[in-house]
Structure formats: structure tokens, C-alpha cells
């Protein structure tokens, strides 16, 4: 019986799945250069106890989420770009779900982060500069109501 060597996950193997209408996966817009904002933080409140001046009690308050930021090369003919343009042009913000999946060397999922009820809050294209030979990058920033960490 051979032992399989467990390798450390590498951060460059990942996929991002947008769910159209919150249900159907968009299989065309999976590839991104960078994903950031995979974080959640529990807020705290401080309670001072009457008559006790040496310390205060810190108690959990509420869960705080930041934003999910996605970067990718400029894409023409993307369903995601059409949807973002529609949302930000009409100021109507339907929510959807987004799944970020960490993959192993065989492209099988190791872990995931499910962002629930996302909506775009920023869409930015990098500067156009004739003196630089750089790829044009789109940055998409999403707000969301909650995040579920999925460890497989």
C-alpha cells in the first residue's frame, strides 16, 4: 500500500463561480487573476463592571464582513460584464451568490467560500497608459450579506 504525499495547497489554483439568478452557474466567467477579501471578523463590545476598575469585559457583538474583490484581465463578450453594466447603469441591485473554490493540482476542490446575496459596489478598469506595456485589468468589488467557509 503506497502512501500519498499530502501537498500544501497553492493559492494560484482557484475558480470563481457566479450563479445566475442565484441558482445557475455561469461557466464562462470562472478565471480571475486575483481574489481578496476572504475574511470574516467578530465584532466586540466592551462592558465595564461596576466597582471593578482593573479590567473590562469584552463580549461578542456581531459578525462583520468586508468586500470580495476580484481582478481579471479585460474581457470582451462576458455575461458577467453585461450583468454588471446593467446593474450599475440602472441602480437596481438584484443579489446573487458567488463561490470561490481552491483547487488541487488535479483541479479538484479542496475548499470553498460561498458568498451569499452579493451585489456589485465597484467596477473599475485599470488606467490606459501608452508608455506602459501592461495588461488592462478589471476590478470587481462585491458586497455580501454572509459568507460560508467550506472545507472539504
Cα three-residue angle 74-78-82, rounded to 5 degrees: 105
The domain that holds 22 is classified in CATH as 2.30.110.20
Per-residue pLDDT 10s for the chain (152 aa) are: 445 555 677 778 899 998 877 678 887 777 899 999 999 899 999 988 877 778 888 898 888 999 999 999 998 888 888 888 888 888 888 888 999 999 988 888 899 999 999 999 999 999 999 998 999 999 999 999 999 999 86
Exposure b/e, 97-124, CB count within 10 A at least 16 = b: bbbbbbbeeeeeeebbbbbebbebeebe
Q: Which stretches of 56-95 are assigned E, i.e. beta strand?
A: 57-65, 68-73
pTM: 0.81
Is position 2 within any domain?
A: no
Taking the CA atoms of 100, 105, 109 and 111 in sequence, report the sign of the dihedral they define: negative
Asked whether residue 113 is assigned to any structural domain, the reply reads yes
Would residue 3 count as lying in a domain?
A: no
**Segment (H or E) for 116:** strand 109-125
- CA–CA dist 83, 96 (Å, integer): 11
Give the total number of structural domains in the chain. Answer: 1
Residue 4 domain-assigned (yes or no):
no
Provide the residue range defining the domain that includes 122: 14-151
Amino acid at each position: 500500500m503506497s502512501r500519498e504525499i499530502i501537498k500544501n495547497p497553492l493559492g494560484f489554483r482557484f475558480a470563481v463561480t457566479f450563479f445566475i439568478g442565484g441558482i445557475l452557474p455561469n461557466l464562462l466567467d470562472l478565471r480571475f487573476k486575483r481574489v481578496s477579501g476572504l475574511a470574516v471578523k467578530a465584532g466586540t463590545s466592551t462592558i465595564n463592571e461596576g466597582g471593578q476598575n482593573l479590567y473590562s469585559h469584552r463580549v461578542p457583538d456581531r459578525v462583520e464582513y468586508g468586500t470580495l474583490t476580484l481582478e481579471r484581465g479585460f474581457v470582451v463578450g462576458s455575461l458577467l460584464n453585461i450583468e454588471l453594466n446593467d446593474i450599475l447603469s440602472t441602480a437596481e441591485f438584484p443579489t446573487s451568490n458567488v463561490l470561490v473554490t481552491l483547487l488541487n493540482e488535479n483541479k479538484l476542490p479542496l475548499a470553498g467560500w460561498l458568498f451569499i446575496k452579493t451585489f456589485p459596489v465597484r467596477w473599475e478598469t485599470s488606467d490606459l497608459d501608452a508608455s506602459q506595456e501592461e495588461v488592462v485589468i478589471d476590478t470587481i468589488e462585491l458586497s455580501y450579506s454572509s459568507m460560508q467557509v467550506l472545507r472539504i
